[in-house]
Structures are given as structure tokens and as C-alpha cells.
Amino acid sequence: MSKKIYEKPIIRKQQSGLMNKFGSTQSFRAINAIDGIPIAKLTEEYGSPLFVFSEKQIRENYRKMNRIFKTRYPKVRFAWSYKTNYLSAICSVYHQGGSWAEVVSEFEYDKARNLGVAGENIIFNGPDKTEAALEKAIKEKALLHIDHFDELYSIKEITQRLDLKARVAIRVNMDTGIYPPWNRFGFNYENGEAMLALKRIVHEKNLELVGLHTHIGTYIMSAEPYRQAVLKLVDLAKALYDQYEIRLEYIDVGGGLPSFNTLKGQYLEAEQILPTYEDYAEAITSPLFDLNLPTDELPTLVLESGRALIDDAGYLITSVIATKRLSTGKQSIIVDAGVNYLFTSHWFNHKIVPTKEISGFTENTVVYGPLCMNIDVIREDVVLPPMHKGDKLVVFYVGAYSVTQWMQFITLRPNVVLISEEGNVDLIREAEQLEDITAREKLPERLKEFTLDG
Amino acid sequence: MQLFIDSILYSYAQIFFSNRKWFGAGALLISFFDPAVGAMGLLGVILSNAFAFYLKFDKEKIRTGFYGFNGILIGAAIAFFFQLTPFLVGMAVIFIFLSFFLAASLENLMANLFNLPGLSLPFILTLYVFLIIIVNFPGVNFRDVLGDSTASASYLPQSIHLLFSSLALIILQTNALAGALLLLLILAFSRVMFLNTLIAFFINYFVVIAIFPNPSSTFLILTSFNAVLVAFALGGSMIILSKKTIPLLALTILFVIIFTLFFENILSDKLLPVLVLPFNVVTLSTIYSLKFREENTDLALLYFKPGSPEENYYYHSSRTARFKDFKYLLPELPFHGLWKVSQAFDGEYTHKDDWRYAWDFVITDESGKEYSDEGNSQSDYHCFNTPVAAPLDGTVVRVINSVHDNEIGEVNIEQNWGNTVIIDHGEGLFSSLSHLKKKSITVEVGDKVKKGQIIGKCGNSGRSPYPHLHFQFQLTDKLGDKTYRYPISSYIAEGEGEKNLYVFDFPRKDQIVGNLDAHKTVKTAFDFKLGDKLEFECTFGHEKFNEKWEVKVDIFNVLYIENNSGDRLNIYKLEKMFYATNYIGKRKSALYYFYLTVPKAPLGFADGLQWTDVYPLSTALGGIVKYLSEFLLIFNEPIKAEGHYIWRKNENNNFEIISKLTITGKNIFSFYKKENNGTILLESELGISEFKFLNNGKVFLAKRIRSK
């Protein structure tokens, strides 16, 4: 008999229809403004749908995270995870706060350089670094986090050819007690591959080993795996010192800290079940003191948090196109933003809230996107009051990944605005136009002419 | 040979508490107004110093004239009192040797017994011995010493004439012109000493005239000559100039008069002259008594190699300003990150009386609040459960870990201090960290802890209505012992868009403070190690030259940088600070401009971090303005040189210190203001790569030559 495939258990609230003559209690509080700017004014000026970012929230999150980590460890450095959100304006807010750039492709690398980030302040992660990208990064003294041996050989070859030194670290994967383990990236700790890679680097005169890196996963819902990960990195760092007297400049524990967006299949709201950031910080920082070094010689702790810093600073305003009672009797609404903008709705039950108080019975409603595709569902179940065409809704926790993973699919992508701390609204990405999409297309001469018979 | 000539010239200068060769040369020439006295004085110094070299005394000490000046005095005094005969010269030679031995032994005796110098006591003792035994020898004739002195320059007012004569008498000259020339030498050497001479002389003059209706000219000359010497010694040479200098001089001159009278009475029977005895007694007793004060903030006794009164003052005042609360142990703030001082010294809640030198710290957020939500539960407070670190290496001597954490607003007066760790840092210093979270302490009694090591978590135990950290230094391991005022070696305070560095300072209420993190690049750049060699390509106006530096260490373990022309910059390194302490050398050197650009730097980088420093005026300014301003130095400091520095990152992402040296005059010198700007650039592997200093519109630029 073959082994059964594991399936995660899911707890879902029992739907039992109307329980009393007043219907379900209204469980939302309407939001009519973001950072003091009325939503009506925003859509009037910039249209719908519309992504809105709050600079105030971004900076607050960043300062808070800095405070939490810096009060627990003397040397902390944040590196902004470009893939989480690489809109120029957003990256620049983090760079203004002192964040380095963490990139995973040549495109992201170039984007960081274009924004004025010096090569030495860029962490280059990821399994796919082209030869050309590596050469550029080595020349510009970027920090290369090696993912596999083939990359190590490439770097070795390039540095020898150019007679340059490269500053490198390796990405380490390990068993931290979470499932599934992310063992596809980097070198494994338990089977000794990581130490083997480190030894090879130590013996290359063109490679300067400056750090260790790990990234144990994403949306990690417990602090303990981090403690395990850091303990294992600390173990490697100690071995490096004992065997080669190498003191690392930094230990990079990656990101993966959750935002308070609620995962699908999560019964309780994220805020009620997730540890606090203080708990994560405690788990990450305290094993570093096991290095038993004077404060000055401790490695810098590098954090590549993305989601935790930006998710709650992004909002998506969307409008109701139509309402429809389904054949099952369930209420549904169609809105003008679909999964093409909200890739993340595949994993998260995004909080969706109307922009004005609406009276009437609230009921479970399906929220469909506008695409002519069956998969275009933003929320399968959300308690909403009766909505009408033209009503606005705000989708929460869309700061992370939405504006990088969004697709130009069926429709064009909308405007993105940033509300400054003083309350000014800046357009930071213009809505796409037909020409943006067709400009790159080439139409062969022979296909230009056609006639359509009536 | 050069060494020997130096030793002679410095011996003459020593008599006037001067350290200038030209002063010595001048005094040597002036001593030949009376050729016999001059020649015998010279014989005295030559013999003394030669003897000292022969017996292998400390060369450096001989060079400074330490052994020579008593020789001059005894030689000169013999020629002063007697008509020279071959026999007498022979006797003089013997007594010069005797005075040398007395000087050498008295030096040690006085130093061991009282930690005082011997001054001219060896001379007096030798002379008295000489005078007492010489009467046994026939054919020794006294000279009529003061007989012709009054006649020579009678066109001068009596007082001025007396002033000159008493100055001349210091090197046993009788001609008033000699005194006048000496006064000019003094003026060139030191404005302070010049003024002090006049002040001392006239105080003495008027007091003597007021007390005695008809004082003898000998008494007048004796008292004024001793008064002037006291003014030399106490007016800036052996005691550093301060506002109390003139009152001190006035008082000690009264003592001079008293002791002159006293010695005159008891010595006259024995036919012994009083000479410099009152000066020695008054100076030594004054200095000795001043050693026993509780505080040395004014009338400080000289504790370094003497210079002119001005130099002593500049050195001392800049040193006290720079190293006011300097300590050898270097504690830091007992936490990581930024915390706010919610109660400092002499606080309004509990830091009073014996417990006044303590700090309370909390963490505030972006909006300045200590808590999130309502602040009704412990965990709402940002500092609750945040790690607390050891401020300094040490051994844990006391741990209390089981006091419950109070609900917000409640206090536990029975267990006032709550959970506490007390650490013994050695040298008699202990620190105590209180109100920690129950069961959060991770160290045990007997554990060795390192600075910055986490020892527990901030909590709310004991007399703590809301979570905070109480931190104090004390002198025993007792729980709740009285506090001891000890500075934090360095910290950064942030606020109002500024980041300021404080060194050996005490965090003040409401400051948001954090430790300075050392930065590798900066630390390497300023980490001058013995034997390090650097070379710079310098441009100053149209001139171009290369300058080489080498880091050396002297016998006193002072680390210094010496350039290829022998200029010297003393440096001092702490864990997180670099200091250039003193520059000696010419003004046109990269070393000098390096010192002006950055006499002090933190070994960590924080963008926009600012700090300040002061310069001794003697190294920052020269010329006529400084010269004139020194006439006012005995009243206040008319011109000040201050520096302001800021860390910045330049467009190439390299660290840069922008420095500004401001020299400002006040009162009648308020017309004077000068601002010089400098920068120093660091590169990550090279260290210091370039510095420039804009001096009066002329740029000094030094570029590091990279060695391959």
C-alpha cells in the first residue's frame, strides 16, 4: 500500500445562516480615509482600482523593527528585500532609513544601482546569478551569497580572470524543525556540505569570506525555528574561527517574519496566534551572544525582512462592478481588482472593508475579480453588508509582493500612489497604457494587413 | 658638546623658571655686568654639569639645567661676597662640588619626604657652610657689595630703580641696568611672568613702605627680590595660573616680608645673609599645603614638564576641558539600542541624597511613548523583557532573581530594589542593575561577564511602578548601597535631528542615549601602532613636499607619531576613542594639520554624529594677537580655540570628518574671530587617505601615498 499524501488539516468556522432576526453582527468598521486622505478623493483623482502606500506606516514599521532588534543586539543591519516591493519610491524610503539592498537577480541588482545604492551595500542572493551579473557585482564589491557549488566555481573563475577579490558568504539550509524544510537553496548544514563549501572558499585567495546567510522560509509562525537556525550558523562561525581564525563580518538570517495578514486555513486571526516581533528578535539575537565575543567583535546581524515591514502599509482600493446572488443562494460581488493584482489572495484571506457604513444584514459574500476566468476569486467568504454598484472597498495587507507579482493579464495595471508623512499624495507608478504593452511587440510586415469578411 | 652647551644655557634659564635657551644665553651675558660674578657663575655651572655627566647622572635632567643652576648661584655668590683670590677660587671649586652633592641629595630627600622640589636650598646651605668656615681663613676680604649700586642709575624713580636692582640680584648683579635687561627677557619669555613680576614688586613695595616708616634699602631690596621670585614660582610656573593667582601672590608676599624680617633677625648675629631663604620657605610651604586640598580645580600644582606660565596654562586648561572626568575603567551603557533617561542624577523621584548618582532608563517609541496600547500591562511597555547588559567586564557578586514583577502602578517597598545583579569590576568599582524581570537573570554569582554581555531582562520588580531599568555605580557589593559618581566612557545622545557624542560624561534626563559601536574602517584608520609608517604627498599653497610618519613610543610609554623632520604628535587611544594629546614642532607639517583637523575622533561611525573639542591656544594660534592677549591671561582667558566635528558619508560612500576650528576672542579681543575648515577622508582598507585644512585662505592638502 502506498503511503498516503499528507494534507494539512483545516478548521473552518461553521456557517449556519441567519441566527437571529438581526442577522450576523456587523464585524467590520468602515474605513473612509487612509492617513487622513479621503478614499473618495483618491479614487476621484487616480481612478479605481488604486494601490495606496502609506509612507508614515512604512517608516513607523521600520523604526519599530529597528528598535526591537537594536535594543537586543548591538549591531543590526536591515537589507531591503527588493522582490517584496521594488517600486523605486518604496525602496528609497528604506534606503533613506539606512537599509541596504537585497536582490536576487541582475534586474534587481541594476535597479538598486540605479537608485544609487553602492555595490558594497548590495546583498546578491538567489540561485540564478548570470556570469555577466557576477562579473559586474564582483567589480562593484557587492556581497555575493553563494547558493551552489557551480556558482562558487564561476566566481572563482571570474575573480582569477579579473584579478579581483570577491566578498562572499554562503547560504546555508538546515533542519529548523519546520515543514517543509527549504533545502533547495544553499548548502546543507547537517550533511556537512556547508562546512565543505566554507573550506573551499577559505582556501581560495581571491575569495574573502565575510558572512553566513540563511533564509529558513516565509511567513514563519513560530520564533523557535529562528533560534535553531542561528544556533547552527553560530556553530559554523565558531568552527571557522577555531579552524581558520576567521571572524565573520556578519550573519544574515534572511527574512520570513510574518505580517499580520491571515493565512488561508488559519482559524484565528493572525494577530491572535502569531508571536510578537519581540519574540522573534529574542530568538534570533540571543544565540548570537553564544559566540562569546566582546561587543565590538560580534558579527553584524543582517535582516532581510520584507513582508513584516511593508505589508500593512499597502492598500488596494477597488470598486464594485456588480452584485449577484449565486444559484446556491450565496451572495457575491464582482469588483474591478482581481487576482491579476492580488496574487497573494491565493494564500491569504485579505481583510476587505467597505469605505462607508452600510446598513442592512451582513452576510457571507464571495468577492470575485473582473477577469473572465473562473480562478479569479479574491475572497471566498467575507462578511459584508449589502453592496451596490460603484461602492468602494479597501483590501488590506497588500504591501508585500502584490506590486511585484502582479500580472498584466486581460487588463492593464492601475496607478500606485504614496501618501507622504505630511499628507501629500504622490503618484509613484502610473497606470499602464496600451502603448506600454504594445511598444515591445514586433508585428511582422506580412501580418499587418487583413480583411474581415462580414 | 651640544648637550653640554644646552645644559649650561638651560641652567641659567632655570633660575627664572624658563625653559628657553635664548633666555639662558641672555642671562649668561647679563651676568657679566660684574665680570667676576659672571665668570664664577659660569665656572659653577660648567663644573656642576661636567661633574654630573662624569658621575653619570640622568642626561636629560642635566640638560634641563636641574643640577646646574645651584652651581651658578654658589659660584656667583662667592664672587659677590668676596674679593677673588686663587685660594678663594680653589675653595669655590670645592664648594661647587659640595653644592652639587647637596642638590642631588636634597632632590631625593625633598621628593621622598614631601614630594617637593629642592629649589635653591642647596645653594643656601652650601653658602652658609662656606661663609661660616671661611672666616677661619686669613686673607679673605669681603667686597662692599651694595655700595655702588644706588649710584649707577639715579635718574630713575626710586621704585623702578629698586625693581631693576632686585631683579639683578637674582643672578647676584648689582647694576640696575642688568635688572632692566632681565625684565625685557622676561617680557619676551612670558607676558604673565612680566605682569606678575610688576604686581609682586609693587605689592611688596607699598606694603613695606606702609608698614615701616623708613625701611632700609637692603630690606626693601631683599623683600622685593624674594617677592619677585615667589611670583615667578607661584604665578604660573609651579602652580598653574587661575583667577586665584593674584590673591595668592598678595598673601604670600606678606609671608615673604614676615620671613625676611624673621631671618634677618636670627641670622644677623651669625653674619649670614638672608638672600633667597624667604622665597624657599614661602614657596615650598605654600605648595606643600596646597597638596592637601579636597579639590584641585584651581591653583593646580604643575603635574607635567614645565613650560612658560602661558604654556602651562594652555596645556592644563585644554587638558582639564578634554579629560575632565577621565577614568581608566571604561563602562558603557548597560543595554543595546537607544533608551531614554527617565531619571538622572539628583532626580525628582528617588535619586536623592546618597542615591543621587543613579540613572533610570526606559524605551520610548517613534511617538515618544513608553508603551503601546493603553500601557496597562507590563508587556505594553517597550522596555519590559528587553535585554540588559553588563556595563563593563567584571564578576557577578550578587544576584536576586525571584521578586515578582509588579502590576502597572503598584510598588513593592519591602523588596525595594527588586531583582538585581551587582557586578564587581575590580579597582573597587561595582555596578548595580535593578528592577529586572523575575527569573530573567541568566548569570550566577561568580560568573565572569564581559562588557555588553546580556545578564537579564528589564522588568518591573521592587519599587518600580512601571517597567524601567535602574543603574548605578557603587563602591561595595551591598544591595542598595550609596551611589558613586562615575562617568560613562562614551555614548551617543540623539534628539532634535542631532546626534551628539559624549565622552566620560553623565547621561542627562530625557536624553535618548545609546552606545557608540566601533566601526572596523574607522578603528583601523586611527589605530596607529608602534612601527606603523605612513607617507603623504603634501601641498601648501605653491609648495609641494612629501612627509613621512612613523609611530613610536617613548620611555614613559607615550605613543607618538614623528615625522621626518622630527615634529612630534602624542597620541592616546582608548577602546572607542582616538586622541591627539599634544603637538610639539613646527607649524608647516602634515602632522600639525592632521592634529588641527582631528584632535579627537570616535572609533565608530554614525552618519551626522557630532562632537567638540578644545585646543590649547599655544598650538592653534601664534603671532602678535596671541602675544598681546597673554597680558590678560591672569584675569581671564581672552581667546579660545574650539573645534567642532561631524561624521559624514561622501558621494563615494567613504567616511569623512568635517571639522571646523574656531578661534574667538572676547572682551577687548572680541574683534578677533577666525574660522578654519578641514576634512579628513577615510578609505576602507587604506585608512586615512586624505586630509585638508583651510588656513587663512591657504589650503594644506595631504594625500596618502599608497604603498604597494
Q: In chain B, which residue's Cα lies nearest the Cα of A291?
A: B453
Nearest to A408 by CA among A379, A439, A380, A381: A439
Closest CA to B386 of A239, A276, A350, A369: A276
Q: Who among B339, B575, B653 is closest to A120 (CB)?
A: B653
Beta-carbon contacts of residue B321 (< 8 Å; ≥ 6 apart): B614
B386, B450, B517 member nearest A74 (Cβ): B517
Question: Is the predicted pLDDT of residue A13 greater than 60, yes or no?
Answer: no
CB-based burial label for A142 (10 Å; 0-12, 13-18, 19+): buried
Residue A8: the pLDDT is 56
- CA pair distance A10, A8, nearest whole angstrom: 6
Closest Cβ–Cβ partner in B337, B338, B452 for A295 = B452
Q: Please, what is the average pLDDT of chain B?
A: 90
**Architecture of domain B190-316 in CATH?**
Orthogonal Bundle (1.10)
Name which of A22-36, A255-269, B366-380 the model is least confident about. Answer: A22-36
Residue in B336, B365, B520 closest to A74 by CB: B336
Preferred mutation among B653, B683, B685 to probe A, highest tally of A CBs within 10 A? B653
Residue B156 has pLDDT above 80, yes or no: no
Kindly report the nearest CA distance between residue B339 and chain A, in angstroms: 8
Smallest Cα distance from B107 to chain A, Å: 47
Arithmetic mean of pLDDT, B572-601? 92
- Backbone dihedral angles phi then psi of residue B83, each to the nearest 5 degrees: -80, 130
Q: What's the pLDDT score for residue A269?
A: 78
Rounded CA gap, A54 and B201, in Å? 79
DSSP state for residue B246 in the 8-state scheme: H
pLDDT band of A12, cuts 50, 70, 90: very low
Q: How far apart are CA B306 and CA B236, in angstroms?
A: 10
Q: What span, in angstroms and rounded, lies between the C-alpha atoms of B422 and B444?
A: 10
Select the residue of A64, A70, A292 nearest B365 (Cβ to Cβ): A64
Please compute Rg for chain A using Cα positions. Answer: 25
How many residues appear in chain B? 708
Helix axes A277-285, A224-244, angle to 10 degrees: 20
Predicted complex: ipTM over 0.85? no
Closest-CA residue in chain A for B390? A295
Confidence (pLDDT) at A293: 86
Average pLDDT on B352-376 reads: 90
Give the number of residues written for chain A.
Answer: 454
**Contacts (Cβ under 8 Å, ≥6 apart) of A177:** A224, A225, A228
pLDDT digits (tens, 9 = 90+) for B662-701: 999 888 888 888 899 999 999 888 899 999 999 878 899 9
B-chain residues near A59 (CB < 8 A): 366
Q: What is the CATH number of domain A33-52+312-433?
A: 2.40.37.10
Q: In the structure grid, which three cell numbers stand for residue A17, read together?
A: 445562516
pLDDT tier at A441, thresholds 50, 70, 90: very high
Above 50 in pLDDT, residue A260? yes
Q: How far is B683 from chain A (nearest CA, A)?
A: 13
Q: State chain A's mean pLDDT as an integer.
A: 91
Eight-state DSSP code of residue B233: I
**pLDDT at residue B147 tops 60:** no
CB distance B512 to B493 below 8 Å: yes
For B708, residues 6+ apart whose C-beta sits below 8 A from its C-beta are: none
Give the Cα separation of B354 and B478 in Å (integer).
13
Which residue of chain B is at minimal alpha-carbon distance from A61? B366
Measured in angstroms, the CA of B338 and the nearest CA of chain A are apart by: 7
- Residues from chain A that touch B332, judged by Cβ atoms under 8 A, are 295
Q: With bands split at pLDDT 50, 70 and 90, how would you rate the model's confidence at B153? A: low
Nearest CA in chain B to A66: B337
Q: Alpha helix locations (H) across B570-707? A: 590-597, 617-620, 623-629
Q: Which of B363, B452, B607 sits opposite A74 (nearest CB)?
A: B452
The cell for B211 is: 608698614
pLDDT at B464 over 80: yes
Chain B positions in Cβ-Cβ contact with residue A292 (cut-off 8 Å): 450
Cell readout for A317 is 482600493
Q: Give the helix/strand (H/E) hosting B701.
A: strand B698-704
Q: Quick check: B30 and B23 in contact, CB under 8 A?
A: no
| pLDDT tens digits, one per residue of B2-45 | 889 999 999 999 999 998 999 999 999 999 999 999 999 999 99
**HSE of A123, CA atoms in CB hemisphere, 13 A:** 31
Domain ranges of chain A: 33-52+312-433, 125-305
| Chain B residue with Cα closest to A285 | B387
DSSP for B155-196, written as a single string: TS-HHHHHHHHHHHHHTT---HHHHHHHHHHHHHH-HHHHHH
- Per the CB < 8 Å rule, is B365 touching A71? no
Contact (CB, 8 A) for A390 and A319: yes
User: What confidence tier does B545 reach under pLDDT thresholds 50, 70, 90?
Assistant: very high
Alpha carbons within 13 angstroms on the beta-carbon side of residue B440 total: 29
Exposed e or buried b per residue across A318-352, where buried means at least 16 C-beta atoms within 10 angstroms of its C-beta: bbbeeeeeeeeeebbbbbbbbbbbbbbbeebbbbb
| Chain A nearest-CA residue for B654 | A118
pTM, entire model:
0.82
Please provide the DSSP assignment of A45-89 as one string: HH-SSEEEEEHHHHHHHHHHHHHHHHTT-S-EEEEEEGGG---HH
Q: Mind listing the pLDDT tens digit for each residue in B233-256?
A: 999 999 999 989 999 999 999 999
- Compute the nearest-CA separation of B497 from chain A (Å): 13
**CATH number belonging to the domain at A125-305, selected among 3.40.50.300, 3.40.1030.10, 3.20.20.70, 3.20.20.10:** 3.20.20.10
What's the whole-number mean pLDDT along residues B128-145?
Answer: 82
pLDDT at A183: 87
From B335, B454, B517, residue closest to A289, measured CB to CB:
B454
Interface of B with A (CB under 8 A): 332, 335-339, 363, 365-366, 382-383, 385-387, 450-454, 514-515, 517-518, 520, 523, 575, 607, 652-653
Query: Is A69's pLDDT higher than 60?
Result: yes
Cβ neighbours for B489, distance < 8 A, ≥ 6 positions apart: B327, B329, B330, B331, B332, B503, B504, B574, B575, B576, B577
User: Which residue on chain B is closest to A290 by alpha carbon?
Assistant: B453
- The whole-angstrom distance between B313's CA and the closest CA on chain A is 38
Yes or no, beta carbons of A67 and B363 under 8 Å apart: yes
Residue/partner pairs of B19-23 with CB below 8 Å, 24 or more apart: B19/B64, B19/B306, B19/B307, B19/B308, B20/B189, B20/B308, B23/B185, B23/B188, B23/B189
> Would you list which residues of chain A are within 8 Å, Cβ to Cβ, of chain B?
59-60, 63-64, 67, 69-75, 98, 118, 120-121, 249, 278, 282, 285-286, 289, 292, 294-296, 298
Q: Nearest CA to CA, how far is B477 from chain A (Å)?
A: 24
CB-nearest partner of A72 from B387, B575, B653: B387
All structural domains of chain B with their residue ranges: 1-144, 190-316, 339-494, 520-704
Across the range B227-237, mean pLDDT stands at 93
C-alpha cell at A153: 566555481
- Peptide bond just before A180 cis, omega within 30 deg: yes
Contacts of A74 in chain B (CB under 8 A): 336-337, 452, 515, 517
Chain A hits for B518, Cβ within 8 Å:
296
The Cα–Cα gap between B508 and B340 comes to 9
- The bridge status of strand A415-419 relative to strand A50-54 is parallel
Number of neighbouring beta carbons within 10 Å of residue A362: 20
| Alpha-carbon B396 to chain mean position | 37
User: Is residue B447 within 8 Å of residue B395, measured between CB atoms?
Assistant: yes
The 10s digit of each residue's pLDDT in A173-214 is 999 988 888 889 999 999 999 999 999 999 999 999 999 999
Running DSSP on this structure, what letter comes out for residue A2?
A: P
**What would the mean pLDDT of A269-279 be, rounded to a whole number?**
86
Tell me if B338 and A71 make a contact (CB, 8 A cut-off).
Answer: yes
Note the pLDDT tens digit of each residue in A154-169: 999 999 999 999 999 9
Q: Is B9 helix (H, G, I), strand (E, B) or coil?
A: helix
Question: Does the distance separating the beta carbons of B387 and A71 come in below 8 Å?
Answer: yes
Residues of B in contact with A70 (CB under 8 A): 336-338, 514
Nearest of A85, A121, A70, A69 to residue A100 by alpha carbon: A121
Sole residue written with cell 602651562? B312
**B145, B80 Cβ separation under 8 angstroms:** yes
Residue A317 near residue A392 (C-beta atoms within 8 A): yes
Evaluate whether B190-316 and B339-494 have a shared fold.
Answer: no
Whole-number Å distance between alpha carbons of B440 and B561: 49
Rounded CA gap, B531 and B553, in Å? 9
Chain B residues with CB-CB distance to A298 below 8 A: 452
Of the residues A56, A67, A249, A279, the best mutation for testing chain B's interface (the one with the most B CB atoms within 10 Å of its CB) is A67
**Superfamily (CATH H level) for B339-494:** Glucose Permease (Domain IIA) (2.70.70.10)
Q: Give contacts of B653 with chain A, Cβ < 8 Å.
A: 118, 120-121
Fold type of domain B1-144? Ammonium transporter fold (1.10.3430)
Closest CB to B366 among A63, A98, A295? A63
From chain A, the residues in CB contact with B383 under 8 A are: 71
B454-488 as b/e: b if 16+ CB within 10 A: bbbbbbbbbbbebbbbbbbbbeebeebbebbebbb
Strands A300-303 and A250-252: parallel
Q: A63 and B653: CB-CB below 8 Å?
A: no
Residue in this structure with the C-alpha cell 507590563, named with its chain if needed: B378
Inter-chain touch A70–B338, beta carbons under 8 Å:
yes
DSSP string, B391-423: SSSEEEEEEE--PPBPPTT---STTTT-EEEEE
**B400-427: average pLDDT:** 92
Contacts of A60 in chain B (CB under 8 A): 366
CB B260 within 8 A of CB B218: no
List CB contacts of A6: < 8 A, sequence separation 6 or more.
Answer: none
Interface contact flag, B338 A64, Cβ < 8 Å: no
Q: State how far the Cα of B106 lies from the Cα of B113, in Å rounded to an integer.
A: 10
Which residue, chain included where needed, has cell 451572495?
Answer: A331
